[in-house]
Amino acid sequence: MKRRTFLGGAMAVAVVGQGSRALAQQPPIKIGMSMPQTGGLAGGGKASLLGIEIWRDDINAKGGLLGRKVELVVYDDKSSASETPAIYSKLVDVDKVDLLFAPYATVPTAPIMPFVKQRGLLLMGNFSFQVNSKVGHDMWFNNAPWGPADSWAASFIDLAQKAGGKNMALLAADQEFAQNLALTARDVAKKRNVPVVFDQSYPPNTVEFASIIRGLKAAKPDIVYVASYPPDSAGILRAVNEIGIGDDVKVFGGGMVGLQFAAVMGNLGSLLNGVVNYNTWLPEPSMYHAGTKEFFEVYTKRAVEAKVDPLGYYLAPYGYAMGQMIDAAVNATKSLDQKGLAKYLRENEHKTIVGPIAFSADGEWKESATVQAQFRGVVDKDIEQFRKPGKQVILYPDKLKTGTLVSPFEAARK
Amino acid sequence: MKHRHSIVFWAGVAIFLAAVLSMTQIVRNEYPFFAGYVILQFIALAVAWSILGGYAGYVNFGTNAFFGVGVYTAVALFKATGAPLVVQIAAAAAVGLALGFGVGLLTLRMRGIFFSIATIALAIIIETCVMNWRFVGGAAGIQIQRPPVMAPFDSYVKMLFFVQAVLVVIAVSTARYIQNSRIGRGLQALRDDELAAECTGVPTLKLKLVACMISGALISAAGAPAAMYLQYADPSSAFNLSYSVSALAMALIGGTAHWIGPVLGAILLGSTQQLLAVTISSEVNVLVLGIMLVLFVVGAPKGIIGLLRPRYRLRAGGKP
């Protein structure tokens, strides 16, 4: 009896409460995605997701999109390609989401490209590399600043040639991303007549790099291009520190994944000095745009409780930028029509916290904004130091440049 | 008696395939086919694993090796000749059979744990080879353009769902045949005591080889359609250790004494995994598999079928 009265009361309150709001409120706009939250890509995935969540909270604080609240529907793809087809089918066919974001990284994204093309759906890409080159979907827009496929290697080899580099050594992990980088590096080297004097891939999970580095040193290269994954990046730098790399080497680094993550950076400390490596966002004066500073203030607070990368430079602001682009497109077209949104995204330049973004026909950035930066004056066991400018000096591209290359590598390491 | 069981079994198979086919024609929403495909794939894997791992008691951790070989056979064949799906699957089965023979010859003289370790090594060796094989994309992976779908299906995923159902039927009927034949009885004898079996005239190595070959062929065949399902293949996904862990866990949770065990285990765990992936969707779904496995090992060492029939024993000409 008592329970029934309570239930009745609760129901009545709920109905009355609903009634007054239901008139004003439309259903939320749902944005669906999978995100690696377990497995090898989880660290990046969680940071990226936090960036997207911060955007969601900001947009909802402003009253949402088209006057509707924004809701994220997120599933874990376990960093695996085999999970995403079913997840995206669920998002589209069952959850009936309004918009799709791609998961972080290439491997989970690749299987859903044909699916979104077939269904004619807009997909905002999230840091995958050349995933649309074979599929040719005209409603794909990558948030990552890679730009044209070869610009990555080209920027590094440019720098090295200006510093007097004549020949190159190539060291790459046997992993999807690193191998893609190595392929473009070989192409660019061939075009520029830079002979490759050492070209080696090593299996994933390699821990001891001494013998590889000795072999590399013996080849006497001027340029050392490394495409590695987080655990190996650390192993390679330790081996270089123990064995040395020779005075010929003008520039070392280029495609080392992991040196963007706070945990790895903190762990390596002074071993990073002198390395020139790619990055997407750095706390250098040239990289602040409207809203960037505010974003990182919020991120830094929330990263602690979310237990993600405390710095969040590499992925998080680009997650936020995905949201900003969708915001701009939805507001401009005043609809959620996928074709209209895609048309708007393709034809306009978008202001975001990571700078202006314009797309070319393949959905990649028209111009690469991947920076090459050199680590300077890094000390051991201090993550906070990386928040200051000057620790990673931007050498490339020119419009973001904040310093000049210190070369040769051995001199820069001091 | 045995004859009647057979009629019941094949009637069940006919009803199952008819249901799957009509589902592809009636249901408009594609999600059940995406999720269902994965569950069916795991049923085929668990049943195939159980032929060697259950009947003979040789715990094979190399499911991912056979699975990946199936995927990459399909990829290589499709890239080279544009072969249709049926040919891809048949070729994958043939390669799996050959691999099973080779591996069996090399490793089946080892007992228990040593065999298991050897199968883990096998997966790593093959994955490394594929990583360095540029033709199929190497470590960078490869994207595949599907050919147009064939009638009576209106989407490729529905067709794959049906194809995987047929593979399940093939795997289950093979397992059932083996269980009720001389091979099955021989395998059971060597599982209980290999030395005694050998002494009483059971050709243990030959039987183990046969089991390993059939098991390998079925696993590779179940893996072959994954290339078209994902329209993408990369070594780390194709040779993912989770295939080994899942197949083994499903078979053990279901019970390995009878072919119905892995089927039940795969349905239970496979559906749970698919459900968790789109509900809780975090570290928790990785945990669930482990907890279930521990609970079953402690509480029901004979698996689900052991719970259903407490004094269940494998009998010649056993249940349908």
Which residues from A are below 8 Å from B35, CB to CB?
Answer: 86, 89-90
pLDDT at residue A161 in the model: 95
CA distance A151 to A369: 9
Convert the pLDDT of each residue in A147-178 to its tens digit. Answer: 998 888 999 999 999 999 999 999 999 988 89
pLDDT at residue B290 in the model: 81
Contact A201 B237 (CB under 8 A): no
CA distance A154 to A191: 10
pLDDT at B68 over 50: yes
pLDDT at residue B144 in the model: 93
Q: CA-nearest residue of chain B to A113?
A: B231
* Tokens representing residue A370 in the block: 């991947």
pLDDT at residue A4 in the model: 46
Q: What is the pTM of this model?
A: 0.91
**Residue range A8-12: mean pLDDT, rounded:** 43
Which residues from B are below 8 Å from A114, CB to CB?
Answer: 143, 145-146, 231
CA distance A371 to A375: 13
Q: Which of A37, A74, A110 sits opposite B232 (nearest CB)?
A: A110
Convert the pLDDT of each residue in A52-72 to its tens digit. Answer: 999 999 999 999 999 999 999
3-state SS, residue A43: helix
Q: CA-nearest residue of chain A to B283?
A: A38
Range from A141-155, A336-350, B45-59, B109-123 carrying the lowest mean pLDDT? B109-123
Of residues A363, A368, A365, the one with CA closest to residue A134: A363
> Where residue A3 falls among pLDDT bands split at 50, 70, 90?
very low
Phi, psi of A214 (to 5 degrees): -60, -45
Q: Which residues touch A357 (CB under 8 Å, ≥6 apart)?
A: A143, A321, A325, A349, A350, A365
Q: Measuring CA to CA, how many Å separate B316 from each of A71, B193, B197, B251, B254? A: 58, 18, 17, 20, 20
Contact A81 B38 (CB under 8 A): no
Whether the CB of A107 is below 8 Å from some CB of chain B: the reply is yes
CA distance A283 to B196: 72
DSSP H/E element including B205: helix B204-223
User: B225 to chain A, minimum CA–CA distance in Å?
Assistant: 12
Whether the CB of A112 is below 8 Å from some CB of chain B: the reply is no
* Tokens representing residue A80 in the block: 């695996």
Contact B143 A203 (CB under 8 A): no
Of residues B134, B148, B264, B137, the one with CA closest to residue A114: B148
pLDDT at residue B46 in the model: 98
pLDDT at residue B300 in the model: 87
Strand A70-76 and strand A99-101: pairing?
Answer: unpaired
DSSP H/E element including B232: strand B232-233
Q: Average pLDDT over chain B, rounded to whole? A: 91
Q: Are B68 and B234 in contact (CB under 8 A)?
A: no
Q: Are B262 and B170 in contact (CB under 8 A)?
A: no
Amino acid at the residue A110: A
DSSP state of A68: B
Residue of B79, B281, B282, B286 to mutate, testing the A interface (most A Cβ within 10 Å of its Cβ)? B281
CA distance A313 to A261: 8
Amino acid at the residue B15: I
Count CB-CB contacts under 10 A for residue B142: 21
- CA torsion A207-A212-A217-A219 (nearest 10°) is -160
pLDDT at residue A21 in the model: 45
* Tokens representing residue A132 in the block: 């649309």
Q: What share of chain B is helix, strand, coil (3-state, %, to 5)?
A: 75, 0, 25
pLDDT at residue A372 in the model: 97
pLDDT at residue A205 in the model: 84
Contact A176 B139 (CB under 8 A): yes
Convert the pLDDT of each residue in A307-357 to its tens digit. Answer: 999 999 999 999 999 999 999 999 999 999 999 999 999 999 999 999 999
pLDDT at residue A19 in the model: 39
Contacts by A124-128, CB closer than 8 A, 24 or more apart: A124/A99, A124/A100, A124/A322, A124/A325, A124/A326, A125/A363, A126/A33, A126/A48, A126/A101, A126/A102, A126/A318, A126/A319, A126/A322, A127/A44, A127/A48, A127/A315, A127/A318, A128/A102
pLDDT at residue B124 in the model: 93
Q: CA triplet B13, B225, B263: central angle to 5 degrees?
A: 40
DSSP H/E element including A87: helix A84-89
pLDDT at residue A340 in the model: 97
Contact B31 A178 (CB under 8 A): no
Q: CA triplet B190, B191, B194: central angle to 5 degrees?
A: 40
Contact A87 B226 (CB under 8 A): no
Q: CA-nearest residue of chain A to B129?
A: A203
DSSP state of A307: T
Amino acid at the residue B269: L
User: A41 to chain B, minimum CA–CA distance in Å?
Assistant: 12
Starting at the edge strand found earlier in the chain, the sheet holding A223-228 runs A196-202, A168-173, A223-228, A251-256, A276-279, A371-375, A392-396
CA distance A272 to B91: 50
Which residues from B are below 8 Å from A134, CB to CB?
Answer: 143, 145
Q: Which of A82, A175, A176 sits opposite B230 (nearest CB)?
A: A82
pLDDT at residue A18 in the model: 43
pLDDT at residue A154 in the model: 93
Q: Which of the pair, A311 or B288, is modelled with greater confidence?
A: A311
Buried b (16+ CB within 10 A) or exposed e, A340-360: bbbebbbeeebebbbbebebe
Handedness of CA B158, B161, B163, B166 (dihedral sign): negative
Q: Are A48 and A87 in contact (CB under 8 A)?
A: no
Which residues from A are below 8 Å from B236, CB to CB?
Answer: 107, 175-176, 204
> Where residue B1 falls among pLDDT bands split at 50, 70, 90?
low
Contact A135 B143 (CB under 8 A): yes
* Tokens representing residue A28 in the block: 């939320």
pLDDT at residue A320 in the model: 98
User: B285 to chain A, minimum CA–CA distance in Å?
Assistant: 9
Of residues B167, B168, B172, the one with CA closest to residue B320: B172
Convert the pLDDT of each residue in A207-249 to its tens digit. Answer: 999 999 999 999 999 999 999 998 899 999 999 999 999 899 9
Residue of A33, A76, A118 to mutate, testing the B interface (most B Cβ within 10 Å of its Cβ)? A76
pLDDT at B316 over 50: no
CA distance A308 to A47: 6
Contact A175 B29 (CB under 8 A): no
Of residues A124, A89, A78, A61, the one with CA closest to residue A298: A61
Radius of gyration of chain A from Cα atoms? 23
**Residue range B87-107: mean pLDDT, rounded:** 96
For residue B302, the number of C-alpha atoms closer than 13 Å in the C-beta half-sphere is: 12
Which residues from A are below 8 Å from B281, CB to CB?
Answer: 37, 74-76
Q: Are B238 and B71 in contact (CB under 8 A)?
A: yes
Contact B146 A94 (CB under 8 A): no
pLDDT at residue B109 in the model: 83
Report chain B residues touching chain A, CB-CB < 8 A.
29-31, 33-35, 37-38, 128, 131-132, 138-141, 143, 145-146, 157, 226, 229-234, 236-237, 240, 242, 274, 277-278, 281-283, 285-286
**Residue range B96-100: mean pLDDT, rounded:** 97
Contact A179 B140 (CB under 8 A): yes
pLDDT at residue B311 in the model: 53
CA distance A225 to A255: 7
DSSP state of A112: G
Amino acid at the residue A332: A
Of residues A257, A104, A234, A238, the one with CA closest to residue A179: A257
Amino acid at the residue A374: Q
Of residues A399, A397, A289, A355, the one with CA closest to residue A144: A355
pLDDT at residue B292 in the model: 85
Amino acid at the residue B25: Q
